[in-house]
């Protein structure tokens, strides 16, 4: 027996077109759900890609050590879990940094210590500045070209700092900031270098270098009762092929330093690329929730409208059955109608999702959403599933109608 | 009926019983009906309202099942068949004409007529060609793209008959096909049914109008779910009821490929 798919498609088209408003409103639920999913996925793929590109650009042989338990294994956990930066205390010490530096095959190691508080010139206080205490070797790992002046090094004074271009503009109204001063935590720093604009707020260091004031690790310790609270240790292996063995040895060394307690995690390769931007996760979590709810509501809408359609067309079902339609034919006729609605919603949602993603990306973010088959496939798959799940019951109900009862019904 | 001895009867009912309701409210509509219908008969079923004519027709058309008894169609017991199997028989062997036409209101005339062919899995072009040809035999070629509500009663009924015949069924079941029509239109319809009958199809018709029984080769009176009388009328002479124009000259009455195919399946 043939399923008469083309015939059912023509049929579904006719009956959906006959009730345009009803169909449109029903489809809207699925559209919103799929659009949200597309936005979340394309932007998260974009963020992942940008970090991957950074690592690749930096030569690839980079690993980072972060405090906290190992990385969450699923996307959902990643979204809902407490952020790494929100750990109450850091388990990484300066001893760990120097021990990692002594491992053969490590060409450079640098601690990153993010310090709270504001920087101020006395009259201007930008509120999005980040204070990063680190060592000069950071430039060996992260590409940080200077636009002016020099990076902090072993001979520069304790009260000197390198600042990002945007911070210079925010503080002094110009990026010509060499020799100017700013205050933080009761100390006065002199700017000895300005970084080139990097425009990478999303990166594996979780530091927006354009807004950062970089000071020496010793100054940073002074703000923290003499303790280095290290959020991250960056390291570079001397070449790509050694990275795996270096990561292995770092794990061993830290394990003995930490008495076997796994309160740190060594990330390299793709694991680095997990975006760790707090705003991003908030947006992602919100949109995922909206997507889930609206897909559910959209699905219920489809089911509701399909049930209305089935009872409206009871007589037609009776006629079709009396003319030789089997239960399978009737099931498919209605199932294809609900699938047409959900897939239509999926397609428009996919397109609208990318429009929104590009809008958001171009307005608030520094990277573009990514197109790939996974997102397209997932949007398609989810809308197919919604249409199937919520269309099956009305379709089966239609097919089970007794032809005589159905014929007896008047509109 | 020379072929009577060679082929099994088209329809054989034995002890067919249909009840509605439960317990005290139970009401027997068909009470142990025995009926044998041979190929090529034109049967008129008459009787007062509520005697079970329509229920019998529904069961014969495989829209309903009896509660007791057997129904053999072409020698096959259809009471125990799956619903898919029954749908296939409805699709290939049975043409139904309803009293209230039952055209699908959102489809136009030609789509309505082509509907049974859809479920035989024919392609759209083929469907529309055959439907158009069938509408031509009923002088409805100019009405192909009308919607059902734009037709007169007689035209609507002719469309309904065209739809019942488009899949070349061996059995045509008609439930008061002329119920809503004036006597002139009734006779037009009846002449068309008689013509179909002459082509070798079996026709079972329910009617209230005694005038129309003259077209039938056999008249069955039903009372309270039983057969009260069963008279075989002499077949009307050829030519006596012939329409002014010969209908369906392209169709070959002797050969019925659809039927033999259906029997094999």
Domain ranges of chain B: 38-62+82-264
pLDDT bucket at A380, cuts 50 / 70 / 90: very high
- Considering only the beta carbons, identify the residue of B87, B124, B167 that sits closest to A325: B87
How does pLDDT run across A172-196, given as a tens digit for each residue? Answer: 888 888 888 888 888 889 999 999 8
Question: Is B132 in the A-facing interface, judged by CB distances under 8 Å?
Answer: no
Domain ranges of chain A: 5-51+280-408, 92-262
Q: What is the pLDDT of residue A137?
A: 86
ipTM, 2 dp: 0.82
Q: What average pLDDT does the segment B29-37 reach?
A: 90
How does pLDDT run across A292-325, given as a tens digit for each residue? Answer: 888 999 999 999 999 999 999 999 999 999 998 9
pLDDT above 90 covers a percentage of chain A that reads: 24
Q: What is the pLDDT of residue A307?
A: 95
Closest approach of chain B CAs to the CA of A23, in angstroms? 17
Type and span of the H or E element at B195: helix B183-198
Chain B hits for A18, CB-CB cut-off 8 Å, are 106
Mean predicted lDDT score pLDDT of chain B: 82
The set of residues, in sequence order, having a beta carbon less than 8 Å from that of B5 and lying 6+ positions away, is none
How does pLDDT run across B121-152, given as a tens digit for each residue? Answer: 888 899 999 999 999 988 889 989 999 999 98
Say if residue B237's pLDDT is above 60: no
For A259, counting Cβ atoms within 10 Å of its Cβ (0-12 exposed, 13-18 middle, 19+ buried), the class is exposed
Chain B hits for A14, CB-CB cut-off 8 Å, are 106
pLDDT bucket at A24, cuts 50 / 70 / 90: very high
Q: Could you tell me which chain A residue has the CA closest to the CA of B61?
A: A322
Lowest mean pLDDT among A113-117, A252-256, B242-246: B242-246
Class of domain B38-62+82-264: alpha beta
Say if residue A167's pLDDT is above 60: yes
H-type alpha helices, A313-372: 314-322, 327-364
Q: What average pLDDT does the segment A88-107 reach?
A: 82
Q: What average pLDDT does the segment A56-61 reach?
A: 71
Chain B hits for A331, CB-CB cut-off 8 Å, are none
Say if residue B245's pLDDT is above 50: no
A404 and B63 within 8 Å at the Cβ level: the answer is yes
Query: Across chain A, how many H-helices and E-strands are there?
Result: 13, 10
Spatial contact of A329 and A320, defined as CB atoms under 8 Å apart = yes
Say if residue A80's pLDDT is above 50: no
How far apart CA B19 and CA A219 sit, in angstroms, is 97
Say if residue A281's pLDDT is above 80: no
Q: What is the pLDDT of residue A84?
A: 46
Specify the DSSP class assigned to residue A353: H
Lowest mean pLDDT among A272-281, A388-397, B56-65: A272-281
Strands B202-206 and B42-46: parallel
Chain B hits for A6, CB-CB cut-off 8 Å, are 124
Q: Give the 3-state secondary structure of residue A22.
A: helix
């Amino acid at each position: 027996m043939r399923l008469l798919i083309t015939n059912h498609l023509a049929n579904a088209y006719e009956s959906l077109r006959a009730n345009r408003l009803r169909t449109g409103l029903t489809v809207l639920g699925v559209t919103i759900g799929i659009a949200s999913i597309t936005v979340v996925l394309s932007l998260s793929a974009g963020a992942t890609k940008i970090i991957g590109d950074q690592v690749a650009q930096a030569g690839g042989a980079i690993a980072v050590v972060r405090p906290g338990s190992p990385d969450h294994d699923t996307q959902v956990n990643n979204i809902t879990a407490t952020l790494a930066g929100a750990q109450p205390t850091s388990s990484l010490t300066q001893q760990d940094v120097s021990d990692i530096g002594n491992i053969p095959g490590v060409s450079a190691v640098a601690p990153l210590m993010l310090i709270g508080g504001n920087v101020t010139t006395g009259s201007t206080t930008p509120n999005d500045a980040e204070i990063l205490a680190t060592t000069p070797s950071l430039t060996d790992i992260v590409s940080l070209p200077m636009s002016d002046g020099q990076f902090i090094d072993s001979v520069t004074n304790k009260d000197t700092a390198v600042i990002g271009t945007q911070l210079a503009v925010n503080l002094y109204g110009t990026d010509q900031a060499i020799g100017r001063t700013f205050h933080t935590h009761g100390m006065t720093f002199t700017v000895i270098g300005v970084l080139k604009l990097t425009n990478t707020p999303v990166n594996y260091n979780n530091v927006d270098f354009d807004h950062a004031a970089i000071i020496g690790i010793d100054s940073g310790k002074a703000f923290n009762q003499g303790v280095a609270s290290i959020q991250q240790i960056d390291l570079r292996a001397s070449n790509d092929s050694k990275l795996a063995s270096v990561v292995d040895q770092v794990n061993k060394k830290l394990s003995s330093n930490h008495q076997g307690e796994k309160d740190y995690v060594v990330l390299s390769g793709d694991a680095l690329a997990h975006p760790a931007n707090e705003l991003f996760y908030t947006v992602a979590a919100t949109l995922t929730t909206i997507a889930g709810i609206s897909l559910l509501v959209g699905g219920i809408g489809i089911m509701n409208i399909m049930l209305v359609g089935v009872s409206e067309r009871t007589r037609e079902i009776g006629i079709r059955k009396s003319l030789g339609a089997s239960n399978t034919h009737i099931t498919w006729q209605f199932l294809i109608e609900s699938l047409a609605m959900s897939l239509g919603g999926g397609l428009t949602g996919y397109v609208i999702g990318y429009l929104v993603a590009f809008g958001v990306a171009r307005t608030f973010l520094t990277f573009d959403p990514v197109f790939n088959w996974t997102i397209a496939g997932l949007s398609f798959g989810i809308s197919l599933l919604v249409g199937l799940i919520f269309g099956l019951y009305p379709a089966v109900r239609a097919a089970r109608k007794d032809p005589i009862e159905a014929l007896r019904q008047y509109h | 009926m020379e072929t009577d001895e060679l082929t099994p009867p088209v329809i054989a009912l034995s002890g067919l019983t249909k009840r509605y309701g439960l317990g005290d409210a139970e009401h027997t509509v068909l009470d142990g009906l025995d009926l044998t219908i041979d190929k090529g008969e034109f049967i008129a079923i008459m009787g007062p309202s509520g005697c079970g004519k329509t229920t019998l027709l529904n069961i014969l058309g495989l829209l309903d099942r009896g509660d007791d008894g057997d129904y053999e169609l072409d020698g096959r017991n259809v009471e125990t068949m799956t619903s898919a199997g029954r749908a296939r028989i409805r699709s290939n062997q049975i043409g139904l004409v309803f009293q209230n036409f039952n055209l699908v209101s959102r489809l136009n005339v030609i789509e309505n007529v082509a509907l049974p062919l859809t479920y035989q899995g024919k392609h759209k072009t083929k469907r529309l060609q055959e439907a158009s040809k069938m509408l031509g035999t009923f002088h409805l070629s100019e009405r192909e793209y009308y919607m059902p509500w734009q037709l007169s009663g007689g035209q609507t009924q002719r469309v309904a008959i065209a739809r019942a015949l488009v899949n070349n069924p061996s059995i045509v079941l008609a439930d008061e096909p002329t119920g809503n029509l004036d006597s002139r239109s009734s006779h037009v319809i009846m002449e068309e049914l008689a013509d179909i009958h002459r082509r070798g199809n079996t026709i079972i018709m329910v009617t209230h109008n005694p005038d129309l029984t003259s077209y039938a080769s056999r008249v069955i009176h039903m009372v309270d779910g039983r057969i009260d009388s069963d008279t075989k009328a002499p077949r009307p002479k050829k030519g006596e009821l012939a329409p002014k124009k010969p209908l369906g000259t392209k169709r070959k009455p002797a050969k019925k490929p659809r039927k033999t195919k259906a029997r094999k399946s």
